[in-house]
Amino acid sequence: MPLQLRVTVVIPCRNDAEFLEECLTALDAQTRRADRVIVVDNGSTDGSASVGRRHGADVIREELVGIWPAAARGYDEATADTDIIARLDADSRPHPDWIARIVRAFVADPSLGVLSGASEFYGGNRLVNHIGDHWYVGLGHRLIPKWLGVPLVFGSNFAMRTRVWERVRDKVERTNPRVHDDLDLTIRLRRSDGVRYDPQLRMPVSARPFKTPVAIGRRVWKVFPTFAASWPEGAPWRRRDDGAYASGTWSPEPAEPWATDADTWSDDDGWAPAAGR
């Protein structure tokens, strides 16, 4: 397989211009540049869109407020002209070899469909950063594979082949801002999708979500509505019984639709100012 895989980086963003500036500056410094960068402006009222355009990104707007609606819109936009969709958050600061490592991994293993990395939280004290790395994201990397049979996708640091998104795009809760988008994506994946966790693919990301016990609790609690929205697809016995662990042939019944009026979302839509993801 040639080393010429096309890579598009998708960054959902809502009122995060200062962090987005740092993220795009880090992307500009990559040893292997992205073929395309898409910033999904999720109804921002600050200068986020201007920051994206100044760095040469394609800025598209998604009016339905929420990380999943914004991320899914970006993945859809990327699908037509790319091989690999890579995902960052606005407060991610990718190391200079991030894209190069992703490309090498996908070139080396044609069966690889999704590659997820680890976190390096910054901006908090040592305890807060430790909680983020080892108890929030770290615990998910330890527990989710035992429950779902595939590694957890970390939304601030992963990449997937376009074919994987094309398979799951109509299965995910893409209009539901009250679920963890990365966990919901993980629930839809199967071993046959070729999902891998690489702890050496590390990503500096802001510790803003862990500044208070309430903020931590809110994000942990969000796990429950995420599983509820897709139930019973996330049940390990169902995944075993229907062969989903290996074959990926079972499709869940459609979930009840969520309200789509952006005005109905509470401040806890994942985009609350200074709250992070």
Per-residue pLDDT of the chain (277 residues; tens, 9 = 90+): 445 899 999 999 999 999 999 999 999 999 999 999 999 999 999 999 999 999 999 999 999 999 999 999 999 999 999 999 999 999 999 999 999 999 999 999 999 999 999 988 888 777 766 666 666 676 777 888 888 999 999 999 999 999 999 999 999 999 998 899 999 999 999 999 999 999 999 999 988 877 777 777 777 778 888 889 988 887 877 766 444 444 433 333 333 333 333 332 334 455 543 333 5
User: What's the whole-model pTM score?
Assistant: 0.84
Whether 130 maps to a domain, the answer reads yes
Whether 257 maps to a domain, the answer reads no
Whether 274 maps to a domain, the answer reads no
Residue 2, burial from CB neighbour count under 10 angstroms (0-12, 13-18, 19+): exposed
Whether 206 maps to a domain, the answer reads yes
Per-residue burial over 104-114, b if 16 or more Cβ lie within 10 Å, else e, is: ebbeeeeebbb
Whether 40 maps to a domain, the answer reads yes
Task: Let me know: does 9 contact 36? Beta carbons within 8 Å.
Answer: yes
What's the domain count of the chain?
A: 1
Whether 2 maps to a domain, the answer reads no
- Boundaries of domain holding 213: 7-247
Whether 18 maps to a domain, the answer reads yes
Whether 271 maps to a domain, the answer reads no
**What count of other Cβ atoms lies within 10 Å of the Cβ of residue 143?**
11
Torsional sign, CA 142, 148, 151, 157 = negative
State the CATH number of the domain containing residue 161: 3.90.550.10
Helix 181-188 vs helix 138-148: crossing angle, to nearest 10: 30
